[in-house]
Amino acid sequence: MQKKHLKRKLDLYLEGNASPDTTKQVEEWLSDTGGRTPSFPEPLLQEEERRILADIRSETEYPLFYPSREEKDLKQAILVGAFVCCLFVVLLMLLHH
């Protein structure tokens, strides 16, 4: 494939505008390893995995699932307050019996 045709086809593919034939051709070309098995050092694979997961998390995390420090402190204060109130009610009930 000539360089200018390859660039044009890759551009169409990357933009999502390639024909089914061009898509198949580009994907076959990209998956052709020439009979070699690609290998990467384990630390490089682990670092790349962490980077990809961080990218995914940055795009998909919602504050609802990962509350801020202030929200955590407020929830903890509410729970402690509710616990103290329950203890107070129990003590009052025990004193009246």
The model's pLDDT over 49-90, given as tens digits with 9 standing for 90+, comes to 888 888 877 777 665 566 677 777 888 889 999 999 999 999
Residue 56 token pair: 């995914």
**38 or 50, greater pLDDT:** 50
**84 or 37, greater pLDDT:** 84
Q: Can you give the pLDDT at residue 86?
A: 92
Q: Tell me, what amino acid is at 83?
A: F
> What are the C-alpha distances in Å from 22 to residues 6, 10, 27?
10, 9, 8
**How confident is the prediction for the chain on average, in pLDDT?**
81
Q: Whole-prediction pTM value?
A: 0.35
The 3 state secondary structure assigned to the chain is CCHHHHHHHHHHHHHCCCCHHHHHHHHHHHHCCCCCCCCCCHHHHHHHHHHHHHHHHHHHCCCCCCCCHHHHHHHHHHHHHHHHHHHHHHHHHHHHC
